Structure 1
Amino acid sequence: MRHYEIVFIVHPDQSEQVPGMIERYTKIVTDGNGTVHRCEDWGRRQLAYPINKIHKAHYVMMNIECTDKELDELTSIFRYNDAVLRNLVIKRDGPITEETDLYKAELADKAEKESRARRESERAAAAAQEETKVAEASESTAPEQESAESDKPEAAESTDETEA
C-alpha cells in the first residue's frame, strides 16, 4: 500500500455535507484495508482565484494509506461529484500524522474565540449581578430616604409657622 495526501475543495453551498463526505471517503479507504493517518477540515477559505465565479470554498485535507483500487474509486468520486470543485492527490513517501501549521492556527483561533466569548459572558454575568446588587441597595435605601424626605417637609412647615 502507498501513502497519499489528498486535498479537495467543496462548493461553499455544500459545506453542510462535508462531514458526511469525509465519513464516506474514510469508509472507502478503511473498507479496502487502508488507513487514514490524518484528516483535517480547514473550513471555508478564500480561493486564490475564482472558480466558476465562486470566491470561497470549503477545504479538506486527508493523509491516507491505500491501494490503487481505492485511490481510483476516490478520484472517480471526486470527478463526478459536482460539489467537489477541485482535488489534488499527491504520492507521499510515508505517513504524515502531525497537524499542519494551517490547521494548528485555525484551532488556536477557534480556542481564542471560545475563550473570548466565555470572558464576555462572564463579564456580562458580573455586570448583571452588579446591577441587581445596586438595584437591591437602592430599594433598601429608598424607604430610609422617603422617611428622611418626609421629615424635611415637616421641618419646613414648622419653620413656616415660626416665621408667621
Structure 2
Amino acid sequence: MRHYEIVIIIHPDQTSEQIMHIIKHYKTFIMQNHGIIYRLEDWGRRQLAYPIKKLHKAYYILMNIHIEPVKISELKEILFFNEVVLRSMIITVKEKIVVPSVILKLKNDKMDKR
C-alpha cells in the first residue's frame, strides 16, 4: 500500500449538501477498499488560477490516504467520469501527512480574526 495526496476541484454550482454527499462517496470507496484516510480538508469555494470551462471559482477538497495502487487506478477513473469534478490530481507521497495544510491554516486564521 502507498500514501497518496488527492486534490479534487468540484463545480461551484453544487450545494453544500451535494458536496457532503460527494465527500462521503469517496470516503466510502476508500474505506471499502481497506484504505486509510489520514487527512480530509474541505477548503471551500476558492478562486481558480485560470478559468476552467468558463468558471472562475470552484470547490476544493484535499485528502491524504493510504491505499493499494490498483484501487487508485479505479479512483482515478471514477473521478474522471464524474461530471461535477472539474479537475483532480493524485500524487504519491513518501509518508502519511496528518498536519493541517497551509491553506486550511490561513482559512482558520481569517475566521479567527472575524
Q: One fold, TM greater than 0.5?
A: yes
Query: Which consecutive unaligned segments of at least 5 residues does structure 1 have?
Result: 114-164
Work out the CA distance in 2 between the residues paired with 1:90 and 1:69: 14
Aligned AA (2:62): M
- Corresponding residue for 2:5? 5
Is 13-22 or 26-35 further displaced after alignment?
13-22
Work out the CA distance in 1 between the residues paired with 2:24 and 2:111: 23
Work out the CA distance in 2 between the residues paired with 1:92 and 1:74: 17
| 3-state secondary structure, aligned to 2:113 | helix
Aligned residue runs from structure 1 range 1-164, under 5 A: 1-16=1-16, 17-113=18-114
Structure with greater proportional helix content: 1
Aligned AA (2:82): N
Q: TM-score, normalised by structure 2?
A: 0.93
Structure with greater proportional strand content: 2
| 3-state secondary structure, aligned to 2:14 | helix
Aligned AA (1:43): G
Larger Rg: 1
Number of equivalent positions: 113
* 4+ runs deviating over 6 angstroms: none
| 3-state secondary structure, aligned to 1:25 | helix
Aligned AA (1:65): H
- Identity in percent: 42
Query: Which consecutive unaligned segments of at least 5 residues does structure 2 have?
Result: none
Query: What is the Cα deviation at residue 67 of structure 1?
Result: 0.7
Provide the alpha-carbon RMSD of the alignment.
1.1
Query: What is the Cα deviation at residue 15 of structure 1?
Result: 4.2
Query: What is the Cα deviation at residue 69 of structure 1?
Result: 2.9
| 3-state secondary structure, aligned to 2:43 | strand
Query: What is the Cα deviation at residue 108 of structure 1?
Result: 2.0
Query: What is the Cα deviation at residue 110 of structure 1?
Result: 2.1
| 3-state secondary structure, aligned to 2:97 | coil
- Ranked by relative contact order (alpha carbons within 8 Å, sequence separation 6 or more), the top structure is 2
Q: TM-score, normalised by structure 1?
A: 0.66
- Cα deviation, 1:56-108, whole Å, max 9, x if unaligned, reads 00011100000123212211111111100001000011100000111011112
